[in-house]
Amino acid sequence: MDKFVVCGGKPLAGEVTICGAKNAAVAIIPATILADGPCRLKNIPDISDVKAMFEILQRIGASVEKVDDNTYIVDPTTINSCEAVFDLARNMRASYYLLGALLGKRGYARVAMPGGCFFGVRPIDQHLKGFASMGAEHRLIDSGDAIEVKADRLIGGYVYMDVVSVGATMNVMLAAVKADGTTIIENAAREPHIVDLANFLNTMGANIKGAGTDVIKIQGVESLHGTTYSIIPDQIEAGTYMAAVAATKGRAVIKNVTPKHLESITAKLREMGVIVCEGDDSVSVDATGGIKRCNIKTMPHPGFPTDMQPQAVALLSVAEGTSIVNEAVWESRFQYVDQLLKLGAQISVNGRIAIIDGVKSLTAADVEATDLRAGAAMIIAALCADGESTISSIKYIERGYDKVVEKFKGLGADIEKVSV
């Protein structure tokens, strides 16, 4: 079993380069299914979720060529199956994008019910509602272990999302791009990776307008051609390193970012007293003057991202004063707090509210990554702790962070991956 060993108590300094966005890549990769020719994807993050998605495409017949760690060519014209009911798909949340892509391309899909990190009920009812608005039918099969969607012909429809859902918004976009007529998504999610997916589809010949707003209009087209496309930088990876630098009271430059995508994170860091300066494609973070308390409420974009909540709690654990964090997106996303308590953090949780009493320093301990972003929070906390900490279940961290040990080492962190 692999673990991370972290010796903390040292400010981070230097620079780190951010990779392509995980949440964009895991939707854009299955979106290649819709093309009538090869797609060259650049700035792909070198993470296990992405590798799994490419393997899923290969399992259903696509040709996938790895050019280098961050560039792949996908030829979907060899796909010979619309079924992904194997464990690889079942263990990955983003496998549900296969439903929209295969339905849009072939009018049929059978996909294992998705898994991924657990931090609350994550239903796909809004996805199915969107498919139904275009004339698709669905049913659970294999004792509820898989879902089947089909339509003789998809016709543009109207769907109002009862809750703002990134996954449902993107899945409906995938199904709608080749439907007859116009599809309108109201109360759509507005995250940067939704815009990135729309831009990717548009470079293939799709007609999508309004991505990044709460109303998206998709005029169906007859065919989509292959393309070359570069994924946007990962805002959550960038925010994680910004939080880590701040927590260790360090100073560093975060490169290859889109500063506008980081505005909510930057605003909260500044509220904590951190100096953040924005460049064209970089941000510098200076927390050498210390950090102070701050209240945070997670919200859909452009609010503070729920995927940054655990990292923010780790940061506030060593801030001066008492902070309150309100998790307004997921109902069970404080499960990791018990691990921070092992490191000496002072946190109490009541439902969706966490109250954090900042301490001067944390103490080394053996902790576990309970999910992807919680794992990132453990690294941040361990970097602030006196002594040597170990982090187990690092498979969750490697699902979403490209070369995480190498990048933290580049900032001066004492961190190693060991097999035990």
Using 50, 70 and 90 to split pLDDT, how confident is the model at 122? low
In the three-class reduction of DSSP (H, G, I as helix; E, B as strand; rest coil), residue 378 is classed as: helix
What's the whole-number mean pLDDT along residues 361-370?
97
- As given in the structure block, the two tokens for residue 136 are 């698709």
Residues 317, 342 contacting (CB under 8 angstroms): no
What is the three-state SS of 39-99? EEEECCCCCHHHHHHHHHHHHCCCEEEEEECCEEEEEHHHCCCCEECCHHHHCCHHHHHHH
- As given in the structure block, the two tokens for residue 42 are 């650049």
What's the whole-number mean pLDDT along residues 149-174?
96
State yes or no: pLDDT of 93 exceeds 70: yes
Q: Where are the alpha helices (DSSP H) in 146-287?
A: 166-176, 192-203, 235-247, 263-271
Using 50, 70 and 90 to split pLDDT, how confident is the model at 399? very high
Which stretch of DSSP H or E encloses residue 139?
A: strand 137-141
58 shares its domain with 88: yes
What's the whole-number mean pLDDT along residues 205-225?
98
**More confident call, 6 vs 1:** 6
220 shares its domain with 94: yes
In the three-class reduction of DSSP (H, G, I as helix; E, B as strand; rest coil), residue 234 is classed as: coil
What is d(CA 77, CA 365) in angstroms, rounded to the nearest whole number?
A: 51
| Overall domain count for the chain | 2
Domain boundary among 230, 264, 281: 230
255 shares its domain with 367: yes
| pLDDT value, residue 120 | 47
Give the other-Cβ count within 10 Å of 275's Cβ. 14
| pLDDT value, residue 121 | 44
150 shares its domain with 85: yes
Residues 6, 381 contacting (CB under 8 angstroms): no
State yes or no: pLDDT of 119 exceeds 50: no
Give the other-Cβ count within 10 Å of 314's Cβ. 31
Catalytic residues: 117
State yes or no: pLDDT of 15 exceeds 70: yes
245 shares its domain with 205: no
For the domain that residue 383 is a member of, what is the CATH number? Answer: 3.65.10.10
Count CA within 13 A, CB hemisphere, residue 11.
13
What's the whole-number mean pLDDT along residues 223-234?
98
Residue-number span of the structural domain to which 157 is assigned: 22-230
What's the whole-number mean pLDDT along residues 127-154?
93
State yes or no: pLDDT of 117 exceeds 60: no
275 shares its domain with 400: yes
105 Cβ contact list (under 8 Å, min separation 6)? 33, 34, 76, 178
DSSP annotation of 178 reads T
Summarize pLDDT for 251-302 with one digit per residue, the tens. Answer: 999 999 999 999 999 999 999 999 999 999 999 999 999 999 999 999 999 9
47 shares its domain with 188: yes
**More confident call, 71 vs 91:** 71
Count CA within 13 A, CB hemisphere, residue 307.
21
Q: Which residues face 4 on adjacent strands?
A: 391, 417
C-alpha distances out from residue 230 to 87, 171, 199, Å: 29, 20, 10
192 shares its domain with 334: no
CA 363 to the chain's CA centroid: 29
State yes or no: pLDDT of 118 exceeds 50: no
Domain boundary among 230, 258, 290: 230
In the three-class reduction of DSSP (H, G, I as helix; E, B as strand; rest coil), residue 377 is classed as: helix
| pLDDT value, residue 142 | 85
334 shares its domain with 275: yes
136 shares its domain with 243: no
Short-list 224, 285, 232, CA closest to 254: 285
257 Cβ contact list (under 8 Å, min separation 6)? 18, 233, 235, 238, 281, 282, 283
342 shares its domain with 250: yes
DSSP annotation of 298 reads B
What percent of the chain is modeled with pLDDT above 70?
98
Domain boundary among 230, 254, 289: 230
Q: What is the mean pLDDT of the chain?
A: 96
Short-list 58, 59, 53, CA closest to 27: 53
Using 50, 70 and 90 to split pLDDT, how confident is the model at 115? low
Q: What is the layout of strands, in order, in the sheet containing 137-141?
A: 83-84, 108-112, 146-150, 137-141
Q: Rounded to the nearest 5°, which phi and psi values hold at 318?
A: -115, 20
What percent of the chain is modeled with pLDDT above 90?
92
